[in-house]
Amino acid sequence: MSPRVSLPLAACSQTALLCFLALMILPSAARAQRASENAVTGATDGFGASIGNERVGVYSPTSVRGFSPVTAGNRRLDGLYFDMGGNGLTSRLTASSTVRVGLTALAYPFPAPSGIVDYALRPSGDRRIVSVVGGRTNYGGSFVEVDTQIPLIPGRTSLAAGTQVSESHHSDGRTVDYFQLAVIPRLKFERGSITAFYGYAETSRDGPAQFTTTGPVLPPVVDYSKFYSQPWASNRQQSDTYGLLGDLALRDDLTLRVGAFESRSNRVATFDDLFLDIQPDGTARNVMVAERDLPARWTSGEARLTWVRDAGPFDHAVHLSVRGRDKRLVSGGGGSAFLGIARLGEHTFRSRPDFVFGTPTISEVRQLTGGVAYVGRWSDRAELNVGLQKTDYRLTIHQRGVTAHTEDSPWLYNATLAISPRPWLAFYAGAATGIEETRGPPLTAVNRDDAVPASRTEQQDAGVRIALGRTRVVAGLFRIERPYYGVGSDGVYRALGDVANRGVEVSVVGQVTNRLSVVGGLVLLDAEVTGEAVDSGRVGRRPVATSNRSGRIDVEYRPPFLDALSLTAGVQHTGPAIASTAGYAALSGDQLEVPAWTTLDLGARYRFAVGETPVSARLLLANVFDDRGYAVASGNGFQLRETRRFSLQLSADF
C-alpha cells in the first residue's frame, strides 16, 4: 500500500480504549442494545432502512425513485427538518435511518416528492448500557465502536456518548481512516424534554479514481487492486455538528417541538484522480485536480406547533410549522495538473506537481418556509394528510468577482388519502410539489465549480397495502417530474430539458414462519427526458445513471437445531444503467449502457452470552460470485464497483 497522510490512529485508538476501560469499571447490569441490532427483523418495509451497521431495502438516502433525498434536502432528524452536510452526521450520533415514500410517509407532515429520510438520534434513559462493537472491515481493515447510555439523575437527565476509530480498505487499493465521537445529553421535565448533541468527525482517505471515455465505449475491465492513489493525494476533512431539540406540552392537546442545528465542515485537502479519454487498450490521460481549505456551514431548524384531538373514532392533528436554513459553501478554485499518459491497471507513481490554485466559488442559500398541515384518521378506515406551504428561496453565487442571484417563491402543497375497506386492505393516492436542491456538476464538467439553482418538482402516486398475517405488502405507482441537468456535448453542466420518472415499486416485509423473516423491495422505472435538446438529438431520452429495474431481498433463517444461530442471504440486482448523455450512431442511436449486475451476500449471526453480557458475532461474505464492473458517475464517467469482500463484527453490551 502506498504511503499517505493519515489520521493519528494510534492516538485515536488509545482514546477509544480509555473510554472503553473507564466505562467498563463502572458497575452495570447487562442490557441488550447493539448486540440485538438486526435490520432484517427490525425493518417495517422494504423501501430502505438502516439499523446500526446494517442496511436493507431497495432505496437508500441517496437513491429514491431515481433521485436523491439527501441532495434534494429532504432529511429529518427525529422528525424535524434539518440540512447538514460534510461528514458530520455520523453513526455515533444516529442509531438508524428510514426512507419514507408513498404510504409509508402518510403520517409525516409535509412529505417531499423525492421521499424523506428520517434519522433517529441515539437513545438514552434510566438504564446504563455500554456497547462495544469491533471487527474486520472489507478487504482487511479494522474498526472499534464504543457507545454508552448513562443515567445521571434517574428519570431526569441522561447521557448518550460514543466514539469510533476505523481503517477501511477498498477493492481498488484505497484506504479510508475515520475517527468520530459524539455526546448527547438529555433533560426531562414535567411537561417536556430537551436534547442537545455534539459530534466530531475526521476523515483521511484516498479518493476513488474517476474514469471517463469518449464515444460509445466502456472502460476496459482490468485488475482492480492496482488503482492506488498517489502517496501525496490524501483527502482530509473535519466536521463539527451540533444541535438542540426541545419538546414542550403547552396543554394536554397542544405541543411545541423545536429543533436548531448546525454543521461546520472543512475539506482541508481534496484530490480527484481523473483518467480521461480512455482508449480501448486502456491508455488514458491522467489528470489530478487539487483543492484546499474549502469551509462549509449548514444552519437549519424548525419550530412546529401541533394540536391533537382524539374524538372517539376520529383522530385529528394540525401542524403549524416554520422551517429555515442558511447554507454557505466554498468550492472550486482548484488547480489541475497533467500527470502523463497512464494505462489502467499499471500504476506509476508521479511526483507531486506545483498546483496553481484559482479563486473559489462561494454559494449561499437562504430559505424560509411556513406551512400548515392536517393529518387525520377515522378508526382504521381512512387516513388523510394535506398540507400547504409558502417558501422563499434565494441562491447567491460569488464567482471570480461576479455575484449572481436566483430566487423562487412558490406555493407548495401535498395531499394523500388512504382508505381501508377491510382491516387487511388499504388503497392510497396522493400528490405533492416541492422545491429541491439540484445535484452539482460532476468533476468532468467544464463548469464543475458552478452552483446550480434549485428545481421545482411534482409527484403523483397511488397504490395498495395488503396485510397477510405477519406479512405486509405495499405496491404503488409513481410519477415525479423535475428539470433535467446533465453534461451537454460542449462539456457544460446545465438544464437540458425535463425528466419524468414513472415507475412501479413493491415492498414486502414479514415473518413467513417463526424462523424465517423476509424483507424485499423492487422498483421498475421508466425515466424519460423531454425538451428541445432531446428533439434536436443532442440529448438522449434516458437520463444518465438511471436503470429500468432494481431490487433487493434479504432473508434470515433460524435453524431449529440451534436457536442462537441465524443464517442470512441477500440478493441485489440492478438493470442496465444509462452511461451517456446522448446516443451514438455506432449504437444505432442508442445511449451507452453499463451492463446489469447481480450480487449475492451470505452471512451468519450467532448470539451468545459471556456471563451476563449479551454478545453477537456476525460474518458476511458480500458479492459471493465476485461480479465486477463499473458504476455510472456521470455522462461517460465511471467508478469501480466493489468486488467480493468479507467482514466480521462482534458486538457486546455490558
CATH code, 623: 2.40.170.20
pTM score: 0.90
Of 219-233, 306-320, 593-607, which range is least confident? 219-233
**Residue 206: inside a domain, yes or no?**
yes
Convert the pLDDT of each residue in 379-423 to its tens digit: 889 999 999 999 999 999 898 888 888 899 999 999 999 999 999
Between CA 197 and CA 201, with CA 198 as vertex, the angle to 5 degrees is 140
**Residue 4: inside a domain, yes or no?**
no
**Which grid coordinates belong to 430?**
396522493
Positive or negative torsion for Cα 17, 22, 27, 32: negative
- Kindly tell me if the per-residue pLDDT of 241 is higher than 90: yes
**Residue 177: inside a domain, yes or no?**
yes
**Residue 596: inside a domain, yes or no?**
yes
Residue type, 213: T
pLDDT at 521: 97
Number of domains in the chain: 1
Q: What percent of the chain has pLDDT over 70?
A: 94
CA 344/CA 277 separation, integer angstroms: 12
**Minimal CA–CA distance to 202: which of 379, 15, 67, 28?**
15
What value does the mean pLDDT take over residues 73-85? 90
**Residue 356: inside a domain, yes or no?**
yes
Count of CB atoms within 10 A of residue 162's CB? 26
Give the containing element (helix H, strand E) for 11: helix 9-24
Q: Which residues contact 183 (CB under 8 A, 6 or more apart)?
A: 159, 160, 161, 197, 198, 199
CA 532/CA 468 separation, integer angstroms: 48
pLDDT band for position 465 (50/70/90)? very high
CA 68/CA 290 separation, integer angstroms: 26
Give the residue numbers spanning the domain of 187. 9-653
At residue 353, the 3 state secondary structure works out as coil
**Which grid coordinates belong to 355?**
498546483
CB 637 within 8 A of CB 443: yes
Listing DSSP states for 302-329 in one string gives EEEEEEEEEETTEEEEEEEEEEEEEEEE
**Residue 1: inside a domain, yes or no?**
no
At residue 138, the 3 state secondary structure works out as helix
CA 167/CA 301 separation, integer angstroms: 34
Count of CB atoms within 10 A of residue 429's CB? 17
**Minimal CA–CA distance to 337: which of 413, 242, 273?**
273
Decide the pairing of beta strands 75-77 and 116-121. Answer: parallel
Convert the pLDDT of each residue in 607-619 to its tens digit: 999 998 999 999 9
Measured CA distances, 463 to 101, 302, 374, 378, 596 (Å): 11, 31, 21, 19, 28
Radius of gyration of the chain, Cα coordinates, nearest whole angstrom: 25
pLDDT band for position 320 (50/70/90)? very high
CB 299 within 8 A of CB 262: yes
CA 137/CA 148 separation, integer angstroms: 22
Between CA 340 and CA 634, with CA 345 as vertex, the angle to 5 degrees is 75
**Which grid coordinates belong to 60?**
437508500
CA 243/CA 88 separation, integer angstroms: 12
Give the containing element (helix H, strand E) for 650: strand 645-653
Backbone angles phi, psi at 390, to 5 degrees: -120, 125
**Residue 3: inside a domain, yes or no?**
no
Listing DSSP states for 569-620 in one string gives EEEEEE--EEEEEEE-GGGTTPEEEEPPEEEEEEEEEEEEEETTEEEEEEEE
**Mean pLDDT over all residues of the chain?**
90
Convert the pLDDT of each residue in 184-197 to its tens digit: 999 999 999 999 99
Give the containing element (helix H, strand E) for 160: strand 157-169
Convert the pLDDT of each residue in 88-141 to its tens digit: 788 999 999 999 998 899 988 999 888 899 999 999 988 899 999 999 999 989
**Which grid coordinates belong to 459?**
409527484
**Which grid coordinates belong to 436?**
429541491
CB 260 within 8 A of CB 322: no
**Residue 560: inside a domain, yes or no?**
yes
